Structure 1
Amino acid sequence: MRMVLVMIAALSLTGCGLVALPFRVTGDVISVVPVIGKPLGAPIHAVGDVID
């Protein structure tokens, strides 16, 4: 019964924005790093855009 409730809660929280959030945050954090941040952060952030 407990596992069923956990699964229902997990399914109700799923969505494109929730899945894309880690990619967007990681891309933004990496973008702050001098010199290599922009080239590395842009593709990761783009993955979040594709998910949405």
Structure 2
Amino acid sequence: MYFQNSAILAPTLESVEKVNDFVLTIFPGMEKEYLSSDTCQADENEDVQQE
């Protein structure tokens, strides 16, 4: 697939949104949103091991 080995550079977030909207129209199916986090929030009762 073409996009697997490519990068799209955009100078502004507005440009990024336009590119994302266009690419989403190419692929069929439902849209999924994946979120990321820089921190880990664990339940107080869980043991969290850090390596």
Name the TM-score class by shorter chain: 0.3 to 0.5
- Considering Cα pairs closer than 8 Å and 6+ residues apart, tell me whether 1 or 2 has the greater RCO: 1
TM-score by length of 2: 0.35
TM-score by length of 1: 0.34
Question: 1 or 2, which has the higher helix percentage?
Answer: 1
Structure with bigger gyration radius: 2
